[in-house]
Amino acid sequence: MLVSVKKLSHSFGSHWVLKNISFQVRERECVILTGHSGAGKTTLLQILHGAQPIQRGVAEVAGYHLNKLTQRRLPLLRRQLGVVFQDFKILPQKSVGENVGMALEVRRMPRAQIKRRVNAVLRGVQMEQRADLKCARLSGGEQQRVAIARAIVVNPKILMADEPTGNLDETLSLRLVQIFKKFNEHGTTVILATHNKQVIQELPHSQLIDLSTHD
């Protein structure tokens, strides 16, 4: 199993966002985390990439036992993942190319190779022409595409995305879903957190985990 979650619970103060969540994700699988606003989709993704500590339960991602994961080993887990954050986490003062290239730079990849891969990925999200533009000058939708490009440029074992179509129009949303689908077909495990019904319909073979129904 690539991801294994058992009896996971998480609270913010006295409010329990996640309660006894259990699921497993096999390699090459596509999983959609859905549920109403505040159901804990974002929190669950944050736990899975080590941005939130585990309060109760057990979780394992890409061979890393999250309950025992030290700060020193956390980057090793994150290098297996590509994450698209809800708030993009894009650096506005850096260019599109630099933002996407960051994920490869931390892996100490040679500069020429970084440039090649960044250009290829930007072409995929239709941002190639804007590679040298500062991200501060991009629209919300464009920033989101940069965030997606940064997540997929590393060829991750698991691609996680938190509301990836949130700021995109219908055409771009569909195009994006196709990108995720393609990645999934090529062997990447995909975990999407979304409440967009269109996205769910476009990925009919996915494992659907509705966090609203968990108790």
Partner 1 sequence: MLMTFFKLLLKGVSNLLANRFEFALTLTGVILVSFLGLFLLLLAQNLQMIITQDKSRLQFEVYWKKDAPVQAIEKEWEALSGLDGVVEITTYPPEKGLRVLAESLGESVDLSWFAEQNNPLPATAVITFALDQHLSQNQARDYLKKIRAFPGVDTVHYNPFELDTAGSWIRFSRTVLWPLMCLLALLAGLIVGNTIKLSQLHFQNEIDVLKLVGGSRCYIMLPLLSGGAFLALVGGVLGLLLLKFTQVSLESLLNVPPLWLEVHFLSWEQIILTLCIMTVVAVLFSWVNIRQ
Q: Which residues bind partner 1 (CB under 8 A)?
A: 49, 51, 71-72, 75-79, 81, 83, 85, 89-91, 93, 102-103, 106-108, 150, 154
CB nearer partner 1, residue 103 or residue 125: 103
Say which amino acid occupies 179: I
Give the tokens for residue 20. Answer: 């006894």
Nearer to partner 1, 83 or 203 (CB): 83
Between 100 and 168, CB nearer to partner 1: 100
Beta carbon of residue 152, minimum distance to partner 1 (angstroms, whole number): 12
Minimum separation from the CB atom of position 164 to partner 1 (A): 16
Beta carbon of residue 97, minimum distance to partner 1 (angstroms, whole number): 15
Residues 22 and 19: their CA atoms lie apart, in Å, by: 9
Residue 104 and residue 180 in contact, taking contact as beta carbons nearer than 8 Å: no
**Nearest alpha-carbon partner for 40 in 185, 210, 199, 184:** 210
Least distance (Å) between residue 169 CB and partner 1 = 26
Residue with smaller CB distance to partner 1, 3 or 45: 45
**CB of 78 vs partner 1, minimal distance in Å:** 4
